[in-house]
Amino acid sequence: MGGKGLSPALITDGLETQFVGQRVIYYPRLASTMEVARRQARRGAAWGTVVIAGEQTAGKGRLGRVWLSPEGSLALSIILYPSLAYLPSLIMLAALAVVHSIEAVTGLKAQVKWPNDVLVNGRKVCGILIESDVQGDAVVYAIIGIGVNVNLRLSDFPEISSLATSLSDELGRDVSLLNLIRRLLVEVEGLYLALLAGGSIYEEWRDSLVTLGRKVRAESGKNKCEGIAESVARDGSLLLRQANGSLTKIVAGDVTLRN
């Protein structure tokens, strides 16, 4: 099912969640789900409100990059109001929710590339963006943005085909966008409730990382370094062992896997 068959009613009907996805705002075509979610959050939208676009024309990835979301791909944003302590866990939560959902709906094994990509067979199938408004020690809102290449023929987009893949390309058939969305919302809520109950998702997230033990090149602002991705801290930052033996902590940035 492509984006044309989607509707809020289909997504929410019988959805086994308490709050995530109980309110869905759907647009057949939209510039950016994050922009709409931001406006909704500032107006005090309900916990777990989800903004979905059948086609996103001006989506942004990390560092202001363009994120391609033509029809057949998934672009959604989820509004949450977490306490400050849970903010670093949202990227882990979102990545694991995507991994669980892909494996449940398609049977494909997915892995996480630090900090915010999900890979299938070594190529990017999903990008995640976390945006938050923090004032003092209070989180005004947090938005999880998720973009997944679902039913996308990468041969139509040669500029990204060497780095990216889609679920349909990997399977050789289309995937139900509706089933993937519904499963994703259930997974996000389940992991979030586990956090609230005092559980940890750090270990599973760490173990799903394809980055650890690999030689990588990291860029953070103007700083660049190479080394072995040794481990990740509980706050989500990457610990990189350089050739001279020093350990560098990378809080945010881009990581390229080296052969």
Indicate the pLDDT class of residue 2, thresholds 50, 70 and 90.
Answer: very low
Query: Where does the chain hold its CATH 2.30.30.100 domain(s)?
Result: 212-257
Counting every residue written for the chain, the total comes to 259
Q: Which amino acid is at 44?
A: G
Residue showing tokens 């945006």: 131
96-108 per-position pLDDT tens digit: 999 999 999 999 9
Per-residue pLDDT, 251: 83
Q: CA separation (Å) from 82 to 138, 152, 237, 246? A: 9, 33, 20, 35
Looking at the chain, the whole-number percentage of residues with pLDDT higher than 90 is: 69
Query: Burial, 32: exposed, middle or buried (Cβ in 10 Å; 0-12, 13-18, 19+)?
Result: buried
Tell me the average pLDDT across 32-57. Answer: 94
Q: 33, 39 in Cβ contact below 8 A? A: no
| Fold of the CATH domain 212-257 | SH3 type barrels. (2.30.30)
Beta strands 117-120 and 123-135: pairing type?
antiparallel
Per-residue pLDDT, 243: 87
Comparison of pLDDT for 60 and 151, the residue scoring more? 151
Tell me the average pLDDT across 188-205. Answer: 94
CA distance 7 to 244: 55
Of the candidates 133, 126, 129, 128, the residue with the CA atom closest to the CA atom of residue 40: 133
Give the E-state strand segments of 136-259 in sequence order.
Answer: 138-148, 215-220, 223-232, 238-242, 247-250, 254-257
Comparison of pLDDT for 225 and 45, the residue scoring more? 45
What's the token pair of residue 196? 């609230």
CATH assignment of 3-206?
3.30.930.10
Query: Where does the chain hold its CATH 3.30.930.10 domain(s)?
Result: 3-206
Q: 3, 177 in Cβ contact below 8 A? A: yes
Per-residue pLDDT, 60: 57
Per-residue pLDDT, 259: 66
| Burial state string for 104-125 with b = 16 or more CB within 10 A and e = fewer than 16 | ebbebebbbbbbbbbbbeebbb
Indicate the pLDDT class of residue 65, thresholds 50, 70 and 90.
Answer: low
CA dihedral 42→46→47→51, nearest 10 degrees, is -80
Q: What is the mean pLDDT of the chain?
A: 90
Per-residue pLDDT, 224: 85
CA distance 19 to 245: 47
Indicate the pLDDT class of residue 4, thresholds 50, 70 and 90.
Answer: low
Indicate the pLDDT class of residue 59, thresholds 50, 70 and 90.
Answer: low
Per-residue pLDDT, 1: 40
Per-residue pLDDT, 147: 95
